[in-house]
């Protein structure tokens, strides 16, 4: 039996997304004025996207068939099998993104200066490793880099960066 | 008038503050260019937040500094360690690295630095001469023509797609969809918002851009812990003195190579989607073919450094010609610049030079200044750049991630933009992983709303869709769009399949129709020349077909 390649799975997801967009395109209110209704352009683009996705789907299926039984679920990946292998392979980006989202979620509490410094420190320690020397180095890099950035935007560019409840002044 | 505009632009830019800012931009570009894996587009994207508070001309000048710096920066790592900092310096390594390894790094760097400079200056002259003339044509445009022009720019996504065209087209269409989210500009009706306030606001261009390009790139850079902990380059403590006099003498004596390569660069830059990554290799190839000693290329031949470096800097001038004369991006960098102009409420269009002469001429002058600044910085701070590129990737990535967030916040002072950044960072990373090109998506985001606006204006004037083919410029761009869509296949099959022999003559013949429709004297004459040229190609078609067929089926 031929396994579906990654491209085929992606094309199916994209087609489902197109279906959703087509439905969403018909939910757009028509104000009944103007020659180009607000829904016309998004609907047109959605149909164009759907055609492209269909072509991609057919191409992927044909490529799968051409590969036959030798096809694997993801020929490009050089990672271990299963969900565990996938998670290990993308571990760094996943953790970095999680840290970034945590920074955004806690921004109202910590503010840009403290939150930013904590984020840089956390990223540096996660990616660079943790030894007493590195912790000290990362702390210095985090404080100096975010401090300079904060000062540059606050005083140089007059941007009122988000402040936190923890220390209301910064 | 031109002199007056140039003088106004010089006054605008020749201030200590602007020159200082441009120098910082050029330095940032040089650094980004010298770091393998960092793209010029990324450097420009990261510079954008700093330009919000500046005047439009000043902001664009800073970005041009980054652009020119980035193009020139790639030569340092290419010559010193054999790894090009950017794709635009790939061909420089062919002869630059052997020359440096052979004990002449100062001479190699001198050739690179001065060729970049001269290439940039030649491109500036052409930019000043050609862009305003080309822009005069734009004054004839009506809404139908504008829409067709933007449509043509959108079809360029097919050429930007690289190996997998369908993925590029999907990426471009997704960009158009992203631009639709939120209130529409014309009627103020919410689209794809589902009652959600965050979606109802729509996505600001900059967070989307930084998320897709920079954020996702950083995620890719840190995926492998081992690589993330390595220094950006392994350039040692370089103590090289650039040999200026010797390099200039060589370049002057090889001026034909310099001019030819610069022209190749400008021409490649003018073509949508064909950037400096292509021009440097094309120029190198031509220099080798024209050289009396082609066998010496690849062993440290001066001509092998002059050609790619002159071409890649000149490409920037070509891309700027397209951007300024027609208001469409020639490459991803000019797409970002168009986005930056939009942030400053300047809408790039064919009428841009006549409506915004100060900004337009500031771009010309900034491009000219930037070449001087880069030359000075490269000469004076070579060792400094090399030292900075020894920073470890994870350190730089961690700091830039936070900078991205702060930078996008400064656009509208709302934290929603920071969430948009993170969301599109994920989208960009997923797309990179699935091998979808990001450049078409950026084009879609930038050009989508402009296309819709012109379509709406066209239909407001007349609901008769035949207007799109009865207006000569509109027809011209629609024909160009049709051939642009097929260009990727043409490039792939050229020299291998018989149908490609029909592509150029058919394009020429098709374009003669709108040219004749335009009337006057010059354009019908041009159409006549195209007919003769196409006829000449068609006469030779059977011979070329036989040659190709015999190559396809060797006995």
pLDDT digit string, tens, across residues B164-183: 788 988 999 999 999 999 98
Q: Residue B555: its pLDDT value, please?
A: 45
pTM: 0.80
Contact A3, A74 (CB under 8 A): no
Q: Which of B174-183, B208-217, B252-261 has the lowest mean pLDDT?
A: B208-217
> For the residues B362-374, what does the mean pLDDT come to?
85
B226 interfacial to chain A (CB closer than 8 Å): no
- Contact between chains at B192 and A24 (C-beta distance less than 8 A): yes
Percent with pLDDT over 70 in chain A: 91
Nearest CA in chain A to B190: A28
Query: In this complex, is the C-beta atom of B229 within 8 Å of any C-beta atom belonging to chain A?
Result: yes
Task: Return the number of other C-beta atoms located less than 10 Å from residue B253's C-beta.
Answer: 11
Mean pLDDT for the stretch of residues A26-39? 85
**Distance separating alpha carbons of residues B171 and A101, to the nearest angstrom:** 25
CB contacts, 8 Å: A52 with chain B: 166, 169-170, 173
Boundaries of every domain in chain A: 6-76, 85-156
Would you state the pLDDT for residue B256?
A: 93
| Chain B from 442 to 501: CB within 8 A of any A CB | 448, 452, 455-456, 459-460, 463
pLDDT tens across B415-433, in order? 899 999 999 999 999 999 9
Q: What is the pLDDT of residue B516?
A: 93
Q: Residue A74 pLDDT > 60, yes or no?
A: no
Confidence (pLDDT) at B362: 85
Q: Tell me what percent of the residues of chain B surpass a pLDDT of 90.
A: 23
The Cα–Cα gap between A160 and B500 comes to 58
CA–CA distance, B323 with B540 (Å, rounded to integer)? 36
* Tens-digit pLDDT profile for residues B450-502: 889 889 999 989 888 899 999 999 999 999 989 888 887 887 788 888 888 99
CA distance B171 to chain A (A): 9
State the pLDDT at residue B161.
Answer: 65
A·B CB contacts under 8 A = 162
Compare all CA atoms of chain B with the CA of A74 and give the residue at the minimum distance.
B434
Measured distance CA(B279)–CA(B243) in Å, rounded? 26
Residue B534 has pLDDT above 90, yes or no: yes
A90 contacts in chain B (CB < 8 Å): 223
Confidence category of residue B163, pLDDT binned at 50, 70, 90? low
Q: Quick count: other Cβ atoms within 10 Å of Cβ B393? A: 22
Q: Is the pLDDT of residue B104 over 90?
A: no
In this prediction, residue B236 has a pLDDT band, given cuts at 50, 70 and 90, of low
Contacts with B422 from chain A: Cβ below 8 Å: 97, 100-101, 104
Supply the pLDDT for residue B372: 85
Contact partners, residue B236, CB within 8 Å, separation at least 6:
none
- Cβ neighbours of residue B400 under 8 Å, at least 6 residues apart? B46, B214, B218
Average pLDDT for B53-78: 83
Q: Which of B215-219, B240-244, B525-529 has the lowest mean pLDDT?
A: B240-244
Largest CA distance in chain B: 70
With bands split at pLDDT 50, 70 and 90, how would you rate the model's confidence at B388?
low
B residues 350-409 closer than 8 Å to A (CB): 392, 394-395, 397-399, 401-403, 405-406, 409
């Amino acid at each position: 039996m031929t396994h579906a390649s990654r491209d085929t799975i992606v094309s199916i997801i994209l087609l489902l997304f197109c279906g959703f967009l087509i439905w969403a395109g018909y939910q757009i209110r028509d104000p009944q004025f103007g020659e180009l209704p607000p829904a016309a352009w998004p609907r047109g683009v959605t149909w164009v996207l759907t055609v492209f996705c269909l072509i991609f789907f057919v191409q992927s299926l044909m490529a799968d068939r051409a590969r036959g039984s030798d096809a694997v679920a993801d020929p490009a990946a050089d990672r271990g099998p299963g969900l565990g292998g996938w998670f290990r392979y993308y571990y760094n980006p996943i953790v970095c993104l999680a840290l970034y989202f945590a920074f955004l979620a806690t921004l109202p509490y910590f503010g840009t200066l403290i939150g930013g410094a904590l984020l840089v420190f956390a990223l540096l320690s996660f990616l660079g490793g943790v030894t007493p020397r590195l912790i000290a180095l990362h702390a210095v890099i985090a404080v100096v880099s975010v401090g300079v950035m904060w000062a540059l935007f606050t005083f140089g560019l007059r941007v009122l960066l988000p402040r936190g409840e923890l220390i209301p002044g910064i | 008038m031109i002199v007056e505009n140039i003088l106004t632009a010089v006054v605008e830019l020749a201030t200590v503050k602007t020159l200082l800012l441009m120098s910082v931009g050029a330095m940032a570009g040089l650094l980004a260019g010298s770091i393998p894996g960092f793209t010029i587009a990324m450097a420009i994207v990261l510079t954008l937040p700093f330009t919000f508070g500046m005047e439009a001309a000043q902001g664009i000048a800073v970005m041009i500094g980054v652009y020119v710096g980035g193009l020139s920066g790639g030569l340092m790592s290419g010559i010193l360690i054999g790894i090009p900092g950017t794709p635009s310096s790939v061909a420089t390594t062919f002869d630059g690295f052997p020359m440096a390894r052979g004990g002449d790094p100062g001479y190699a760097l001198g050739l690179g630095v001065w060729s970049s400079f001269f290439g940039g200056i030649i491109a500036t002259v052409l930019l000043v001469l050609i862009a305003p003339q080309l822009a005069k044509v734009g004054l004839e445009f009506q809404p139908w023509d504008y829409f067709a022009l933007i449509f043509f720019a959108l079809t360029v996504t097919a050429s930007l797609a690289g190996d997998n065209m369908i993925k590029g087209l999907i990426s471009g269409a997704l960009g158009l969809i992203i631009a639709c989210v939120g209130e529409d500009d014309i009627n103020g009706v919410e689209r794809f918002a589902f009652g959600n306030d965050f979606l109802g606001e729509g996505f600001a261009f900059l967070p989307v851009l930084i998320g897709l390009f920079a954020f996702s790139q950083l995620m890719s850079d840190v995926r492998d812990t081992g690589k993330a902990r390595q220094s950006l380059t392994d350039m040692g403590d370089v103590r090289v003195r650039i040999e200026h006099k010797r390099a200039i003498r060589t370049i002057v004596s090889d001026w034909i190579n310099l001019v030819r390569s610069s022209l190749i660069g400008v021409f490649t830059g003018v073509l949508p989607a064909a950037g400096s990554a292509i021009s440097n290799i094309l120029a190198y190839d031509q220099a080798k073919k024209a050289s009396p000693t082609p066998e010496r290329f690849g062993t440290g031949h001066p001509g092998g450094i002059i050609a790619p470096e002159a071409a890649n800097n000149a490409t920037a001038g070509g891309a700027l010609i397209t951007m300024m004369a027609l208001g469409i991006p020639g490459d991803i960098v000019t797409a970002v610049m168009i986005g930056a102009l939009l942030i400053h409420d300047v809408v790039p269009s064919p009428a841009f030079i006549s409506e915004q002469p100060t900004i337009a001429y500031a771009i010309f002058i900034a491009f000219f200044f930037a070449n001087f600044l880069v030359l000075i910085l490269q000469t004076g701070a070579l060792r400094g750049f090399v030292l900075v590129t020894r920073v470890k990737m994870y350190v730089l990535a961690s700091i830039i991630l936070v900078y991205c967030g702060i930078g996008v916040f400064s656009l509208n002072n709302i934290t929603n933009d920071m969430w948009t950044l993170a969301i599109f960072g994920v989208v960009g990373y997923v797309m990179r992983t699935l091998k979808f090109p990001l450049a078409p998506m950026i084009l879609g985001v930038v050009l989508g709303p402009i296309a819709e606006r012109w379509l709406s204006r066209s239909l407001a004037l007349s609901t008769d869709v035949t207007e799109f083919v009865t207006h000569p410029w509109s027809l011209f761009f629609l024909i160009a769009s049709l051939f642009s869509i097929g260009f990727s296949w043409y490039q792939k099959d050229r020299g291998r399949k018989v149908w490609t022999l029909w592509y150029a003559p058919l394009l020429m013949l098709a374009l003669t129709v709108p040219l004749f429709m335009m009337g006057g004297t010059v354009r019908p004459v041009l159409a006549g020349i195209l007919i003769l040229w196409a006829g000449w190609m068609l006469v030779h078609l059977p011979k070329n077909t036989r040659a190709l067929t015999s190559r396809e089926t060797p006995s």
